[in-house]
Structures are given as C-alpha cells and as structure tokens.
Amino acid sequence: MVAVSPHALAPTATKRRFLPTLLLGLLLLLANACRQDHSHRVTVFAAASLTNVFEELSKAFESAHPDTRVELHCAGTTRLVLQLREGAPADVFASADTLQMQRVVDAGQTVAPPQVFASNNLAIVTAKQNPHGIATLADLQHPVTMLMCSPEVPAGRYARSALAKANVHLESRSDEPSVRSVLSKVKLGLVDAGIVYATDARTIDSQDSDELHAIVIPKAHNISASYPIVALSTGRQRPLGEAFVAFVLSPDGQRILTSHGFGTP
C-alpha cells in the first residue's frame, strides 16, 4: 500500500475552504455594482407627445453625465398622473398641460414649483392625399369620421376648445388615451381624420408622409398648449431629477425642443 502524506491533501482542502469565500466576494461585488447603477439612474415620466424630443433630451443628458442613465416612460398625461398618485416612483414629471400638473402639486409630490419649458399647437391629420379634401375644422363634420383624445387628456381638452373657437360641434368616434393612439388609428384607416399636436404633424412630414397628411389649423381657431416640468419627491434621485429639469430648461435643452417644433415657454 502506498502511503499518502497528509500534506498532499492540503491544497485541495484549502481550495474547498476558499471557494465559498470567493463566491461570497463575487456576490458582494455584483450587489455593489447594482447599487451603484441604481444610484445613477433618473426616472422621467413624460407626456406621450414628448416621446421623440425627450428621447433626444435623455441621450444629450446622458452624454453630459456619463455615469447617469435616464429611464424614460412616456404615456398619456392622465395615465402618468394616475400612476404617480398610486405611488409609482419617478424623479421628473413633464406634463402636456398645467391642469394635470396641478393634481401632482396638490398631492404634495413636487419638490419645487413647476416651470413651463415648451409650448405647442394643434393640427389635423388625415389619410394620405387627404381624400376628403379637409382644410379646416369645419370640414371634420359628418360624413367624415374623426378622432380626438379623451376630454380628460390635455390634447382632447385642447381639441374641444379649438372646435368651440371655430364654432364647430362634432363628436369623436371614440375618446383616445393619447395622441399616439389617434395617429395610429388614422394611419390604419379606421377613421378619416384626427386632431393632434402640431409637433406630431411635423413628425408626419419626416416619417409618415407616405401614410398620413397633416393640415395646419389657422391661428384664429388654434390653441396654445403649455408644457410644465418639475422634479418629484416620489423618486430616489432628487438631485438627478433637479439636474434633468435644469437641463431641459437650459439653452441646450431648449435648442433640442425647438428643433422638434416646440415653441418657447
């Protein structure tokens, strides 16, 4: 029989004792990395009509803050307000009107007074080549089928105000939750026309010209929409939220907004 020295087993035993320590170290390292990533993430809630411009603003903000990631959530303003009121964590809220923003202020979820950062107007969208020859709000009356956002949604409230200014009385085929939904249904041919923001019409000119047609509403019948923004107390990164708001209001942020067709505050 060959005698085995106890020392020959020592390296294997040492490795077995070292392995749990190594795994624990790796787990702690991963946990720390997750905490660091979370500490440099700013969550932004923005109205659906801000989707394209806030994607660019988010990229520009990340370029100016290399260790920061912007988590952007875009939806109808009323839906975002509901989520905030139900406890959804967010560091910034950009609304399509001051009325919905006031609900967040009244709930005590803001850390400073909201500031208007942009303005917008309305436009009509139709199918390609505008088969019904729509040129004004009055042309949206029967037999044309048309869509607006719900009256609770800023775009829907603005649209109804514009119709009232033009002394036009008509009903929406259905009340949509956001301008994105209106655009989608017009594009699919489910209705003849819809009322959206002028910035959506600008997007059509560059991206959807083969499927949609945009019509400018005259100033006499149009509405000026105000967009307020604020840092929130519901998130985990108040300093980053305040920094994002400051960036949107800065000359660089305003240039990006202007390039997407938004007006100045």
DSSP secondary structure of 113-180: --EEEEEE-EEEEEETT-TT---SGGGGSTTS-EEEE-TTSHHHHHHHHHHHHTT-----SSEESSHH
Burial of 47 by CB count in 10 Å (0-12 exposed, 13-18 middle, 19+ buried)? Answer: buried
Give residue 210's pLDDT band: very low, low, confident or very high (50, 70, 90).
low
What three-state secondary structure class fits 41? strand
Give the pLDDT mean for 74-82.
95
What confidence score (pLDDT) does residue 9 get? Answer: 45
Question: pLDDT tens digit string along 42-58?
Answer: 999 999 999 999 999 99
| Residue 148: φ, ψ to 5° | -135, 165
Across the chain, mean pLDDT equals 87
Confidence of residue 206 (pLDDT cuts 50, 70, 90): low
Question: What's the mean pLDDT in 102-111?
Answer: 97
Return the H-helix or E-strand segment holding 258. helix 251-259
Asked if pLDDT for residue 104 goes beyond 90, the answer is yes
Q: Indicate whether 8 pLDDT > 90.
A: no
For residue 211, what are the β-bridge partners?
A: none
Q: Do domains 40-119+226-259 and 122-221 have the same CATH topology?
A: yes
State if pTM tops 0.85: no
Contacts of 55 (CB under 8 A, 6+ apart): 72
124: phi then psi, degrees, rounded to nearest 5 = -105, 140
CB 115 within 8 A of CB 230: yes
Stretch 242-250: mean pLDDT: 98
Q: Rounded to an integer, what distance in angstroms lies between the CA atom of residue 235 and that of residue 55? A: 20
CATH code of 40-119+226-259, in short, is 3.40.190.10
Domain boundaries of the chain, sorted by first residue: 40-119+226-259, 122-221
Q: Give me the mean pLDDT over the 87-91 stretch.
A: 96
Query: Best-predicted range by mean pLDDT among 15-19, 34-38, 232-236?
Result: 232-236
Residue 7 has pLDDT above 60, yes or no: no
* pLDDT tens digits, 161-186: 999 999 999 999 999 999 999 999 99
* Helix, strand and coil in the chain, % to nearest 5: 50, 20, 30
* 211 vs 127: which has the higher pLDDT: 127
pLDDT of 204: 67
- Domain 122-221: assigned CATH number: 3.40.190.10
